Chain A
Amino acid sequence: MAGSEVKRPGFLARVVKPFIHVARHALKSPVTHKYPFERIKGFERTRGYITLNMDTCIGCGACGYACPDEAIYFFPVEGRKYTYPAIDYGKCSFCGLCVETCPTASLAHTDLVELAGYEYEELVYMPSELKPINIKEVLPEVRRFLITTMTKDGPKYILFKEGGED
């Protein structure tokens, strides 16, 4: 029958200890953070918004072939000789296969993910728009940047920098 293989502690441990464990959590500091005001800084590899360096791009189309979501289109840019990738962030799944495929390393990830807009067209970034975006432009409320660390007593946020100094 059930329970034969599982430890069965005494009555107090079964009834009172859960209560004590729950109550003890009141002393812990919250693990949540106030998002628009405090933002977690991504890691070095964090895959987010993709930027394009048009000076090195050779318009080979490898990124478009690699993209599993068919989120990359190619458009000519005035004054330049190739066609360059435009990214549809409505379809993009941030898998990073395009960045990995790029033979000249012209595409690069940033940790920005705040790309939401009111119209679908706002999600389509033309080649000339794929520039680095300052987070203040998309998230004006941000005051502080945090990074996550692991200490002996559990995970902790530490201040990376104040937002104003950017």
Chain B
Amino acid sequence: MIDALISFVNENLGVLFVIAIFPGLAFILGFVIFAVWYQRKYLARLMIRMGPVHCGGRMGWLQLIADAMKLVAKELIFPRAANKTLFLFASVVLPVIPAAMIALIPFAPGLIIYDAAGVSLLVFFAISTLFPVVSVIRGWAANNKFTIIGAFRNIYLDIAGEIPVFLASIGVMIWAGTYDLNEIVLKQASMWFIVPQFLGFIVFFIGFLAMIEKVPFDIPTAETELIYGPNTEYSGAMFLNMMEADYINLLAWTLLMITLYFGGYNGPPIFADPVLNGVFWILVKLIIAITIIFTITISYARLRIDQAVKMGWNYLLPLSILNILLTLAMKFYLGGV
């Protein structure tokens, strides 16, 4: 038994490493811990204060671990009127969905958890549509006015945001001529797709902000109106899961943006260094991207749901279709990549 296990591990060491360590589970959880800490420290500096300082000696680096321990140790409170099965189910399943999206992202040549046989971009979007569904389940199961309003807002927002995002990424597909994220990355070795796909990127980025539900699109969890939107009733470890889901979602979509428009694991074309290509560059880009996203979250006001939906359908959708036509025209005249 044990021998069989050891031999199984030995034979599949690479796969297990990819799933469990990098870019799999450990990396995702590590990123959540880092991102929360980084958000707190960085935003604190933007607000001219210090952020956590005491926990873990310097820079408060243990703060999130301490918070997580506190949350796990707390009681799980199920509201009396809640549907307890679905309530628990949603909180367990929610972080899995964005984590599954990450499995499709190439981190280096060959370093990918699940290579979806040439259609990985489509699979990515297919999985991402599950997120609002589970989100509605969590809002509905809690049986609370605030959560249900937040859950319905989540549907409106996700539909309004996801269609432009998908159509914008179709521009990339046309330009690259493939559905496969790995090939899209390879084709960006000499020029990142943000240059030919600039209009598409703008549309993608605004929709992307709606997908990660950060300000100005944190409408479902609007704290000033809905307390914490669909998550209001969750406590303890379930709350931790919800928060994790938010950050994993951020990670997944940011990685997609980097992969589609910023050359994935390629270094900048001007000093493309084959040695550094791969994990190093993707992490650098990730940190720059979340820095910008965090800055955006505190620079702007939150849109109203009607304004956000209007923006999605009235402006982003036509623009994304225009982008597809432009891409086709460019491809026709310039002959593509």
- A residues contacting B by CB (< 8 A) are 18-19, 21-23, 25-26, 28-32, 34
Contacts and interface: CB of A to CB of B under 8 A. Distances in A.
Interface string B129-142: 00000000000000
Contact of A34 (B53, B295, B296): B53
Nearest to A21: B299
Q: Is the interface of B mostly helix, strand, loop or mixed?
A: loop
Nearest to B301: A18
Nearest to B297: A22
B45 interface: yes
Contact of A19 (B49, B50, B296): B296
Contacts, number: 34
Interface in B45-62: 45-50, 53
Contact of A30 (B42, B48, B296, B300): B48
B92 to A, nearest CB: 36
A47 to B, nearest CB: 27
A23 B46 contact: yes
Interface residues of B, number: 14
A158 B218 CA distance: 40
A105 to B, nearest CB: 41
In the complex, which of the residues A19, A29, A34 has the most CB atoms of chain B within 10 Å of its own CB atom? A19
Contact of B295 (A22, A28, A30, A32): A22
Contacts of A19: 295-296, 299
Nearest to B51: A30
B298 interface: yes
A24 to B, nearest CB: 9
Interface of B: 42, 44-50, 53, 295-296, 298-300
Contacts of B299: 18-19, 21-22
Given A18-B299, A19-B296, A26-B46, 14 more contacts: A19-B295, A19-B299, A22-B46, A22-B298, A22-B299, A23-B46, A23-B295, A25-B45, A25-B46, A29-B48, A30-B50, A31-B49, A32-B49, A34-B50
Nearest to A20: B299
Nearest to A36: B54
Nearest to A23: B295
Query: 6 smallest A-B Cβ distances: which pairs?
Result: A22-B299, A32-B49, A19-B299, A30-B50, A26-B45, A18-B299
A62 to B, nearest CB: 44
16 contacts: A18-B299, A18-B300, A19-B295, A19-B296, A19-B299, A22-B46, A22-B298, A23-B295, A25-B47, A26-B45, A26-B46, A29-B48, A30-B44, A30-B45, A32-B49, A34-B50
A23 B53 CA distance: 21
B42 A26 contact: yes
Contacts of A31: 48-49
A32 B48 CA distance: 8
Nearest to A16: B299
A102 B89 CA distance: 69
A88 B300 CA distance: 48
A124 B322 CA distance: 76
Contacts of B48: 25, 28-32
A149 to B, nearest CB: 17
Nearest to A154: B48
Contacts of B49: 30-32
Contacts of B45: 25-26, 28, 30
